[in-house]
Chains A and B, each alone.
Chain A
Amino acid sequence: MAFDMKMALVRPALKYALERNGHGAALGFTLDRVERGETHLTFPYREDLVGNPITGVVHGGTIVTLLDTACGCSAMTVQKKPSVTPTMDLRLDYMRPAQPHKPIYVEAKVYRQSSNVIFCRGVAWQDDKENPIAHCVANFMKVDSQSIQFRSIALKKLRRLMPWRQNPINDVGAK
């Protein structure tokens, strides 16, 4: 595959935004691989995320978050100008109960994008990818707003780091 310059720039930004901020940091997963329209992540077992105190199985909400993050991450990368993509809906089927004390692997792919909607699907598994614990379909909106494009967000952050310069970079909106 040819070297993808845009992905090389977007990848570390996404890794930082998803792994080190807010709920992603609280969960503590790692993004193993981020390509255009494809995301792989690994989540280690944690006892404070248990949903069934009798069996010690991780709560379904954790799996919702992992799949939402992975699908969202895949959706963000397929756009011409990568930007934040709001989730429209998400459907999750639990095929089998997760086993305690084992990491969960997640893979999500974009399988179609139209002019307004990005369609994703994802799987979560533990031992065998052919025997997944959960399968999910999630749809995302494409929003044409400059303020949520990665470029604008990054420039805004950069500006905050340089308070001694009033306007270090020309207007973000200018092409």
Chain B
Amino acid sequence: MNNQTTDELLLDWQERVGAARQECDPQSLLDMIPYAAFIGAQAKVDDQRLLYWLDKRASNIGNPSLPAIHGGVIGGFLELAAAIEIIYSLDVAEVPKVVDFSLDYLRPGRYKTIYASCKVMRQGKKLVNVSAKAWQDDEQTPIATARCHFLI
């Protein structure tokens, strides 16, 4: 990617994570991950928790005849949100590694903003379990729920 060594990149990463935590700015974490910019994911601190959202954009459409957001985008967005939740709220040095990811699609993702929030269900020494939820109009009617395990 560039000339920096892995150690330098890791130090730089830890510095930025520390700064993001201090300034309560989860968006700066997303800015470091190219995939987040690719799908257009954003984050903010909202009422004691992190709220993620994905504004509608044409390149995220999966089914043009409805139109509906691509199921893979919803999955990728929830996985990204779960990873950011861990990096931001737990004391981890490296980028968490995803082990498995399970996604239930409850409703079609209409062509409008998708919101998401996550909850760390269990934190062990090595493994973290996170559950994530995505909704559009109403938080009580989610469009998808996900559950993932990360190695930290």
Interface size on A, residues (CB 8 A): 44
Whether A80 sits at the interface, judged by CB under 8 Å, is no
Q: Which of A85-93, A116-124, A161-169 lines the interface with chain B?
A: A85-93
Whether A114 sits at the interface, judged by CB under 8 Å, is no
Which residues of chain B in 66-124 are interfacial with respect to chain A, using CB atoms and an 8 Å cutoff?
A: 67, 70-73, 75-77, 79-80, 83, 94-95, 97-105, 108
Whether B63 sits at the interface, judged by CB under 8 Å, is yes
Whether B32 sits at the interface, judged by CB under 8 Å, is yes
Tell me the number of A-to-B contacts counted with CB atoms below 8 Å: 142
Most buried by B among A23, A49, A88, A89: A23
Whether A174 sits at the interface, judged by CB under 8 Å, is no
Known: A49-B34, A87-B71. A23 touches B97 (CB 8 A): no
**A61, B35: Cβ atoms under 8 Å?**
yes
Interface size on B, residues (CB 8 A): 43
**A68, B72: Cβ atoms under 8 Å?**
yes
- In the complex, what residue of chain B is closest to A54 when comparing beta carbons? B9
**A62, B35: Cβ atoms under 8 Å?**
yes
By a CB distance below 8 angstroms, the chain B residues around A91 are: 100-103
By a CB distance below 8 angstroms, the chain B residues around A170 are: none
Whether A44 sits at the interface, judged by CB under 8 Å, is no
**B59, A22: Cβ atoms under 8 Å?**
yes
Give the distance to chain B from A87, nearest Cβ to Cβ, in Å. Answer: 5
Q: Which of B65, B77, B98 contacts A94 (CB 8 A)?
A: B98
Known: A49-B38, A91-B103. A23 touches B33 (CB 8 A): no
**B98, A60: Cβ atoms under 8 Å?**
yes
Give the distance to chain A from B89, nearest Cβ to Cβ, in Å. Answer: 19
**B102, A97: Cβ atoms under 8 Å?**
no
By a CB distance below 8 angstroms, the chain B residues around A26 are: 38, 59-60
- In the complex, what residue of chain A is closest to B96 when comparing beta carbons? A52
**A61, B59: Cβ atoms under 8 Å?**
no
Known: A48-B37, A61-B79. A84 touches B104 (CB 8 A): no
- Chain B residues in the interface with A (C-beta under 8 A): 1, 6, 9-10, 13, 32-35, 37-39, 58-65, 67, 70-73, 75-77, 79-80, 83, 94-95, 97-105, 108
What 5 A-B pairs are tightest by C-beta distance, nearest first? Answer: A61-B76, A65-B72, A22-B61, A59-B35, A26-B59
